[in-house]
Structure 1
Amino acid sequence: MASLPDFRPKQLSLGPLEFEILNLIWDLGTATVKQVHEQILTNPDRELAYTSVTTVLNRLTKKGWLACDKQNRSFVWRPLVSRAQANSLWAYDQLQQFLAVGNPDTVAAFADHLDQASVEQLEEIADKIRAARKAREDQ
């Protein structure tokens, strides 16, 4: 699993079209508006204006997910975090929201309903946390 990146987008929440386009950029590595638009239109049942793709790419740039570079006479977008880093950020954000409940009894009540695989996964997470803390102390 990827660790939390040093860089964090300004806004983690994404709409469905933003998420779809970000995934396309991750798949392509870098892309122009035309490339993203063509990828979306590979689905014959899909319609989306070229200008809408431009708007979403600009929105993702403002939110801190993408960077836009000018190459020759066109603009090329590239991701600022990897898909794995984004998944770590989203998971961390969800965990923080869950823990923000602040009531240990409420959080513990969920533990009573976990299956054995989930309990083992939590124990593995706890072991990794202990190992990371010990490694920091040993430095």
Structure 2
Amino acid sequence: MVSLPKYRPKQLSLGPLETEILKIIWELGKVTVKDVHDRILSDPDRELAYASVTTVLNRLTQKGWLQCDRQERSFIWQPLVSEAQAQAIQAYEKLQQFLAVGNPDVVAAFADSLDRSSIDRIEAISQRLQAIRKEKEER
């Protein structure tokens, strides 16, 4: 199970190209602009300027998703959170937004409209939470 990391990017919202490039970086680990550019251009139907990749990498760094280090004559980017950690952060933020509604009637009406599969998943989450809390109490 992935726990919520202590570190969070400054800005969670990402555009489609930022998301695509971040996924490439998660897959490759450490990258140069050329690594990302080559990966995108490996799709014969894609075109993207080298400078555009550089701009997106710098933007992701400013948003707190990446770290950039200079090694000799090139820059190396690497993620500050894993893909699983990013999913946990985004899920947590969405849950907090949902709970911020604060009106029990709205939440209950939403829950009442869920299908059986969704209810089963919520029950599985509840059981997992109970097990985690029990483990903490036993320590």
Q: Which bin holds the TM-score, normalised by the shorter protein?
A: over 0.9
TM-score by length of 2: 0.93
Per-residue CA deviation, residues 50-109 of structure 1 (Å, 9 max, x unaligned), is: 111101001100111000111121001001111111111111111111111111110111
What secondary structure sits across from 1:135 in the alignment?
helix
Match of 2:116 in 1: 116
Shift of 1:110: 1.3
Question: Within the alignment, does 1:21 sit opposite 2:21 as a pair?
Answer: yes
Matches of 1:123 and 1:89, distance apart in 2: 21
More deviation in 43-52 or 80-89? 43-52
Corresponding residue for residue 80 of structure 1: 80
* Deviation for aligned residue 1:46: 1.3
Secondary structure at the aligned position of 1:13 is classed as: coil
Q: Residue 9 of structure 2 aligns to a residue in which SS?
A: coil
Unaligned runs of 5+ in 2: none
Where do 5+ consecutive residues of structure 1 fail to align?
Answer: none
Aligned length: 139
Q: State the Cα distance separating 1:127 from its structure 2 match.
A: 1.8
Provide the identity percentage. Answer: 66
Query: Within the alignment, does 1:89 sit opposite 2:77 as a pair?
Result: no
- Alignment partners' CA distance in 1, 2:19 and 2:4: 19
> Is 2:49 the counterpart of 1:49?
yes
Residue 130 of structure 2: aligned partner: 130
Match of 2:37 in 1: 37
Aligned to 2:64: 64
RMSD: 1.2
